[in-house]
Structure 1
Amino acid sequence: MNDLNDFARRYIAVWNEPDADLRLKAITELFAPDAAHYTPSQEVHGHAELEVRITTAYEKWVRPEVYVFRAVPNANGHHNTVRFNWEMVTQASGEVDSVGFDFIVLNEEGLIKSDHQFIDG
């Protein structure tokens, strides 16, 4: 993977995608079929559960036009891993409301095998 910041932007774009079909397509292009996604409070596995997880976040935060997610251009990684920060920004003011980071393990094909999401506040 040449540009890890581009990877982070594509990852974050999934969480902001309004079209359900395009969201699912992006999930299948980024995540391995057996991928796992972990947060402090939940764990999901596979494309179907990832679709529910990401759609739920979209419906709660982005669809009401309150927030949008954006990647911080600080992605780095090695040995099939990527880490990057992200922000949840208020759409009206552009103020950062929440920040966090993801630590991602990729499989040999460059698809996400596991995604560990940390929310800093």
Structure 2
Amino acid sequence: MHDPDTIARDYLAVWNQPDATQRLGQLSASWSDAAQYADPLMAASGRGAICDMIELARTQFPGHAFSLRGKPDSHRQFVRFSWDLAADGGPRVAGGTDIVRIDDQGRIAEVVGFLDG
């Protein structure tokens, strides 16, 4: 059984990792080889492409970090959690909810993200 709190925090740690090499290492530890990611603004397939996509997103919001909003929940192989994006001590500039599918090895296999209005 997977722990939704750990999955959500590890997921956000990947997005908050400024170093691409370390980020790819985090992805390798917790995401499947063929992981898929999609939200309304971007999509990527595979760890390397997801790492690059995160780098692009990070360059658009320098000095910002993702934080968990509320309590993650789960059922079967799915985890759902919400997040906020803000500069340190600043107002929220974006937020959303992600649905994560976990594979049989406990790794992230797919993420479907939704942005708040």
Matched-pair contact (CA < 8 Å) for 1:5–1:73: no
Sequence identity (%): 29
1:25 aligns with 2:52: no
Q: Deviations over 1:77-98 (max 9, x none)?
A: 011110000000122x332221
- Alpha-carbon distance in 1 for matches of 2:69, 2:81: 7
1:119 aligns with 2:106: no
1:100 aligns with 2:96: yes
- Map of 2:73 onto structure 1: 76
Gaps of 5+ in 1: none
Matched-pair contact (CA < 8 Å) for 1:17–1:23: yes
TM-score, normalised with respect to structure 2: 0.91
- Alpha-carbon distance in 2 for matches of 1:38, 1:108: 21
Matched-pair contact (CA < 8 Å) for 1:40–1:118: yes
- Alpha-carbon distance in 2 for matches of 1:3, 1:114: 16
1:23-102 → structure 2 map (5 Å cutoff): 23-61=23-61, 64-65=62-63, 67-91=64-88, 93-102=89-98
1:12 aligns with 2:9: no
Q: Which amino acid aligns with 1:51?
A: C
Alignment root-mean-square deviation, CA? 1.5
TM-score, normalised with respect to structure 1: 0.88
**SS of residue in 2 equivalent to 1:108:** coil
Gaps of 5+ in 2: none
* Match for residue 110 of structure 1 among 86, 106, 110: 106
1:8 shift after superposition: 0.7
